[in-house]
Amino acid sequence: MIDKQKLQKLANIITNYSIAVKKGEKVMLRGYGFDSYPLIKELYYECIKAGAIQVDVRFSHDELGRIFLNNANEAQMKYLSELDKKVAQSYDAMVQIVADANPYELKDVDIKKIYAVQKARKPLSDILHKKRWCLFYYPNLASAMFAKKSLEQWEDFVFDTCLLDWKKEEKLQKKFVDLMKKVRNVRVVGKETDLTLSVAGQKWMTCCGKCNLPDGEIFTSPVKTSVNGVIRYNVPTHYQSQDFEWVKLWLKDGKVVKEESNNQKGVTDILSTDAGARFFGEFAFGLNNMIKEGTRQILFDEKMGKSLHMALGKCYDECPNGNDSNVHWDLIYRFAWAEAELWFDGKKVYSKTKWIDKRFAFLN
């Protein structure tokens, strides 16, 4: 059973720090899966206590999504009412709590249908994501099984990765960003890996509990055509209802020209989604040292301390590099597992398990 005090503390952080609810504001609480209710209830209480004039609660379920996608016609899939847009525009903040009952619910759904619905609802998503928002994966039995942990272990892990001093983390991240602003070229060397890329002139962003929980990364996008070499991502990942134990990519002038994986068909299908799927839209460092192992749940794994991740596909508007795609697939590279070295502008700054350049020693 989830620790009630931890649940209340998390609800307080999300309400009063992440989305910073103010008196008279309107908030939407969205639960994906009914297991999210305990946290939704605490968030509802905190939002009312903070003075929100309206708190709307909505639930959805992937089983209903599967029924819709398998049976809806084209008109139904593309439908988006003006009323939906007006309602979305009325909110000041949004919280999304994911507690899916089955991570493979949509495995056999035609991916083209999923993309069609996503495209149709993008205007609604764009409206909501211009508001203050926060996303959290609630620990339930399904996600515990997915992470290969007991439910009690999983609950403790999830809350311990989220209940950090995020203002303190923000100071550390800003210090890291200030250093990375001066870096032009990055090289990653390790087992089956020798990759170079440029981040010259790119904008770096901090992630300190405002939009995601858990959090803990700094990110940018690489210069689109600058990525060259080979890299073997070594943290298992789950994307589009498929599992990947590892993914190895060869790149030339930013484009993936060859790919290998234990799930060969899956990786090739994703990379064939559209032209942008073979280019990177994100480059980031994970900084949450409470996360030391993979869970196959990206919101956690991409924040793993002493790791980097790179997302194939669409870049973020905050730090663009011109790449667009229906795909945004984060692939994670744990330094220690690859006995990796990092080089910034020709100087070795990281070796295997620690930062060896004194400028970055505070990250150890």
pLDDT digits (tens, 9 = 90+) for 306-316: 999 999 999 99
Residue 115 — pLDDT band, cuts 50, 70, 90? confident
Question: In degrees rounded to 5, what are phi and psi of residue 281?
Answer: -115, 0
Dihedral of CA atoms 119, 35, 240, 160 in degrees, nearest 10, equals 110
Q: At residue 90, does pLDDT exceed 80?
A: yes
Handedness of CA 149, 65, 243, 256 (dihedral sign): negative
DSSP 275-323: GGGGSEEEEEEE-BTT--S--S-HHHHTTBSSEEEEEEEPPPTTS--S-
Please, what is the average pLDDT of the chain? 95
- The dihedrals phi and psi of 50, each to the nearest 5 degrees, come to -75, -10
1, pLDDT greater than 80: no
Q: Which residue has the tokens 């405002």?
A: 210
Are the CB atoms for 347 and 341 separated by under 8 Å?
no
Quick one: angle between helices 111-129 and 82-90, nearest 10?
40
pLDDT score at 2: 82
Structure-token match 């994906």, residue found: 32
Mean pLDDT of the region 60-70: 93
- Quick one: pLDDT at residue 111? 84
Per-residue pLDDT tens over the stretch 173-194:
999 999 999 999 999 999 999 9
Strand-pair category, 185-190 with 193-198: antiparallel
Reported residue count of the chain is 364
**Unique residue bearing structure tokens 């000041």:** 92
Token look-up 């903040």 returns: 93
What torsion, rounded to 10 degrees, do the Cα atoms 190, 192, 198, 204 define? -60
Lowest mean pLDDT among 115-124, 261-270, 325-334: 115-124
Residue 210 Cα distances to 14, 49, 94, angstroms: 8, 20, 12
Which helix (H) or strand (E) segment is 151 a member of? helix 151-162
Q: What is the pTM of this model?
A: 0.90
Cα 292 from Cα 192, distance rounded (Å):
22
Between the two ends of the chain, the Cα-to-Cα distance in Å is 34
Buried b (16+ CB within 10 A) or exposed e, 42-67: bbbebbeebebeebeeebebbeebbe
**What pLDDT does 241 receive?**
85
Tokens 């980031």 belong to 284
For residue 3, what pLDDT is reported?
86
Position 248 scores a pLDDT of: 98
Sequential DSSP letters for 21-67: --TT-EEEEEEESGGGHHHHHHHHHHHHHTT-SEEEEEEE-HHHHHH
Name, in order, each residue with C-beta under 8 angstroms of 301's C-beta and a sequence gap of 6 or more.
235, 237, 291, 294, 295, 309, 330, 332
pLDDT for the residue numbered 128: 87
Q: Residues 62, 102: contact at Cβ < 8 Å?
A: yes
pLDDT of residue 326: 87
pLDDT at residue 364 in the model? 93
Over range 318-339, report the average pLDDT.
Answer: 95
In Å, what is the CA distance from 20 to each residue of 43, 78, 80, 136, 230? 12, 34, 29, 16, 42
* pLDDT tens string 189-240: 999 999 999 999 999 999 999 999 999 999 999 999 999 999 999 999 999 8
pLDDT for 118: 86
